[in-house]
Amino acid sequence: MISDEKLDEFHNIVEECSIENIENFVKNPSWGAINFEAATPDLQKLDSILNPLKSYSEQIRHLPQNVVQTTINNLIEIKATLDRMEAFTLDGDPNANRDDIVYTLGNNLESLFPQIALWIPFLAFLQGDVDKSILDMKNAKATLNEMLQETTEIIEGQKKQIDSIVQAARTAAAEVGVGHFTEDFAGQAKQNERQAVTWLWVTGLSLFATIVFAILFVSVLSIPEGATLPIIIQHTTIKFVTIGVLITAAIWCGRIYRAHMHQMTVNKQRANGLKTFQAFIKAAGEDEGAKNAVLIETTRSIYSIVPSGFVASEPGESNSIMEITKLVPKSS
């Protein structure tokens, strides 16, 4: 870890080498027709390196000691060259002196660029990506816990109601054998509920594991000090792959949870359709047309896929029930 003194030295030399206006820096009225426009590309390259280093002030601590010290040494040489450029006069052979300064600045950048440029993506990674990912996963975990709590409350709240409705439907539809099928659909709905809760827990555990691994990667399994670039790339790749696999697993488990909740909704709808079958038959009276319409709509509602809100693509709702409500009053 870089000491505070070394970090201050690094920031100070970065500030000293920074140029606010390159266009004004390469020209001076006292130089006449002579200028340093040939050094503009090198000065722009220097600016592209120094600006990120200012943004990643605290992340510099995580760089290897030799990289920081070598960068400081290179920047000291660049500062000396910039001082020569700023103090340039027309004494002696000004053209030769100017060309020598431009050439020296180019060599200085050739030494600086390989030392620090390759570390800038690593500094960007330390500054925001991991912290943002951990925060997103914590928010996702909180949302998942809320979903789990709401699902549990809904299941507990409707359990007694479903049991009583199923029992009443079995009694009312005993003549046509509807009760048996209602129980089958209701039982399947309960099984889907249990499986949905199980997969919701699995999804939560996957997200929790993702957060744990992310924290471990940042706090415990950090990149060793003095590591070479290949080792850093290897560590970073392993971390991203591991986090990616865990997030993918959480998404996959979440989709299975949604599929079970969809099946639960469908089976509940089928059970409810059978529960109301006998009531519609009685309301139709002796009208055979109304009874046939009830039979057709009940069959359609039981065996069609109804919208549940848990899957992306669902069929629209049927308007046939409006035809039944029109037939019933006529039959009475």
pLDDT (tens digit per residue) in 182-201: 677 777 777 877 887 888 88
Using the predicted structure, report yes or no on whether residue 28 has a pLDDT greater than 80.
Answer: yes
**Could you report the per-residue pLDDT of 283-292, keeping only the tens digit for each?**
666 677 776 7
Using the predicted structure, report yes or no on whether residue 329 has a pLDDT greater than 50.
Answer: no
Q: Check: CB of residue 126 under 8 Å from CB of residue 59.
A: yes
Kindly state the average pLDDT of the residues 162-175: 60
Q: Which among 268, 273, 269, 292 has a CA at the least distance from the CA of 281?
A: 292
Q: Check: CB of residue 211 under 8 Å from CB of residue 203.
A: no
CA angle 42, 47, 52 (to 5 degrees): 140
Q: Check: CB of residue 85 under 8 Å from CB of residue 28.
A: no
**Could you report the per-residue pLDDT of 72-85, keeping only the tens digit for each?**
888 889 899 999 88
Rounded to the nearest 5°, which phi and psi values hold at 149?
A: -65, -45
Close Cβ partners of 200 (under 8 Å, ≥ 6 residues apart): 144, 147, 148, 151, 257
Give me the numbers of helices (H) and strands (E) for the chain, helices first please: 12, 0
CA angle 173, 175, 176 (to 5 degrees): 75
**Could you report the per-residue pLDDT of 207-261, keeping only the tens digit for each?**
888 888 777 776 666 666 766 777 778 777 877 888 888 888 888 888 887 787 8
Top-confidence residue, 9 or 62: 9
Burial class (CB in 10 A: 0-12, 13-18, 19+), 221: middle
Using the predicted structure, report yes or no on whether residue 174 has a pLDDT greater than 50.
Answer: no
